[in-house]
Structure 1
């Protein structure tokens, strides 16, 4: 869990300022097994992926 500080934001519908309270948010940390699987996919080992599909471990970092 990570603490997200309070901050001000804007209501997207009408543009008014809103106060966003402090909160705890969950976050995802990949495990070694998932990282190894992603590495294999990027090197082309394992399942074939459709042409043009790019996998990047940066999305999971």
Structure 2
């Protein structure tokens, strides 16, 4: 995956000295993790609904 860093981050951290292939530890805070999990769940539900629609020939927005 790619990471884009602003110049301020590159200057204030050791990330500016890293090169391709260097190992880094990346952590996200609990709030971000909750957002990621919610988005993943919503996308999975949407994909499941689309698959069901294809199987039944009915739109998922129909009542």
Normalised-by-shorter TM-score class: under 0.3
| Structure with the largest fraction of strand | 1
Question: Which entry has the higher C-alpha Rg, 1 or 2?
Answer: 2
Q: Tell me the TM-score normalized by structure 1.
A: 0.26
| Structure with the largest fraction of helix | 2
Higher RCO structure (Cα 8 Å, ≥6 apart): 1
Q: Tell me the TM-score normalized by structure 2.
A: 0.25
